Amino acid sequence: MRKIYADGTAEVEFLNELGRRSGETNRKVTETVSAIIEDVKENGDEAVKNYTLKFDGSLPEYYEVPRDVINDALTEADPDFVNALLNAQENIADFHKRQVEQGFINARADGVILGQRIRGLERVGLYVPGGTAAYPSSVLMNAIPARIAGVKEIIMVTPPLKDGTPNKDILVAAAICGVDRVFMAGGAQAVSALAYGTEEIPKCDKIVGPGNIYVATAKKLLYGVVDIDMIAGPSEILVLADETADPKFAGADLMSQAEHDILASAIMVTTSEKLADETISEINRQKEYLSRKEIIEKSLDGYGAIIITDSREKAVELANRIAPEHLEVLMENPMELLGSLDNAGSVFLGHYASEPLGDYFAGPNHVLPTSGTARFFSPLGVASFTKRSSYIYYTKEALAEAKDDIVLIAEREGLTAHANAIKVRFE
C-alpha cells in the first residue's frame, strides 16, 4: 500500500488516477446489454428464461418462488441469523421513519390554495445478486425504506444458485421485509423485465439494488424508461486519522472495503507518519487470515493509499475533494469535524463506529453514492421511493390580480397562446 506525502502534486496525481479507475463502460458490454434489452422487450419471459439457461446453465425449478417456499426459508433458518436480521431491521426502520416527509397546504386569505402531495411509488423492482455476492443486508436496506415510503408492491429478482434453487438467506430477508413477489432471474435480462414488464414479471416504476457490470449497464441504459437508484461504481472508504487512532482498527477498516472488489479504493489520510507505517504493518498481518486476501491485495495495490498531510484542515479538504462513499473519522474529538465534512455518503465518527456497523446494523442506509458523486447525490432513503405533485387553486379574483404579470411574461417569451389562455377568462 503506497504512502503519499501531500505536497499539492503527488496527492492530486493519485486522485486523478483514482477517478479513472472505473472508466467508461466497455463498449462490448454495452452492445451485449443493449441486445438483451431489446430481446426482452420483444419476447418477454421467453427471452428471460433463454438467457437464464444460457448464463446459469439450467432453468430453475420455478420462475416465481412460491410463497410457501419463502415462508419455509424463514421458518427453517438459523434462529440467530433471523434475530440478527430482525435487530438490524428495527434499527433501519427507526432511522428511516424519521425521513418521512409530509405534504403541505397553504390556504391564503385571497382564496388561493397551494400545496404539495407526497406519496409512495406504485411498484418497485429490487435486484438482488446471487452466488457469492448474495447480500441479505441489501434486501433490508432497499425494501425497508420502500415500505415506509408507502410503495404498494415490491418485486424482487435474483439469479438462481447453480442447483437451480434460490439463495435461502435472501429469501429470509425477503420474508422479514415483506417483499411481495420473488422471481428467479438475474442479469441484464431481469432488469429489462422489471423495466418493461413481461407476461409474468410486473412492470416497475423504479429499479434498485446492486449488481455486476451487466446489471449496472442495463440500469443505466434503461434510465428514463424506469427510474433507478443510482449508477454505482466500485466501493470505497476514506479514513481520516490522527495519532490517537489505533492502527489495528484503521487497517481492518480499510480492508473491509478492499475485499469487495479489486477496483475498490481504500484510502487513509493522516497527520501521523508513525500511524501510516503501523497501519501498513497491521494490514500485512491481518490480511493473512482473511478469506478474500487476494482481492484485498489487488485492491490496495491498485487503488489504495495512505496520504500523509500536515494538518487536520488539509485532511478535511482532501476528504471533501474525494467525496467518498464511506468516510471514517478516527481522530480526537471527531464531532468537531462533522460540520466541515460536506461531501460523503455516510460519515462514521469515532474509533468504534466501524464501517461495517453502517453496512449491516446501525440504521442509516448503506446504498451510497460512489466515485465522487457524494458531491451532489444522497444515500438511498424514503424520499427515493416517493413522488411529489404540487396543486394550485385560484379564484377569479385572485387570477385577476395576477393576470397582467402572467400575460406580460408570456408575451415576452413569445408564447401568445399562454397569454391568451389567461386573457380569455376576462373578456
Residues designated as active site = 325-326
| Residue whose grid cell is 477517478 | 19
**Alpha-carbon gap, residue 92 to 90, rounded angstroms:** 6
Pairing mode, if any, of strands 104-107 and 113-120? Answer: antiparallel
| Residue whose grid cell is 451532489 | 376
Q: What angle do CA 83, 88, 94 make, to 5 degrees?
A: 130
3-state SS assignment for residue 7: coil
Q: Are 124 and 205 in contact (CB under 8 A)?
A: yes
| Residue whose grid cell is 472488489 | 261
Helix, strand, coil fractions of the chain, as percent rounded to 5: 50, 15, 35
Q: Are 284 and 246 in contact (CB under 8 A)?
A: no
**Alpha-carbon gap, residue 402 to 113, rounded angstroms:** 14
Helices (H), 57-165: 67-76, 79-97, 136-149
Q: What angle do CA 362, 271, 262 make, to 5 degrees?
A: 55
| Residue whose grid cell is 486523478 | 16
* Phi and psi angles of residue 370, each rounded to the nearest 5 degrees, phi first: -125, 180
Q: Are 247 and 279 in contact (CB under 8 A)?
A: yes
Q: Are 349 and 358 in contact (CB under 8 A)?
A: no
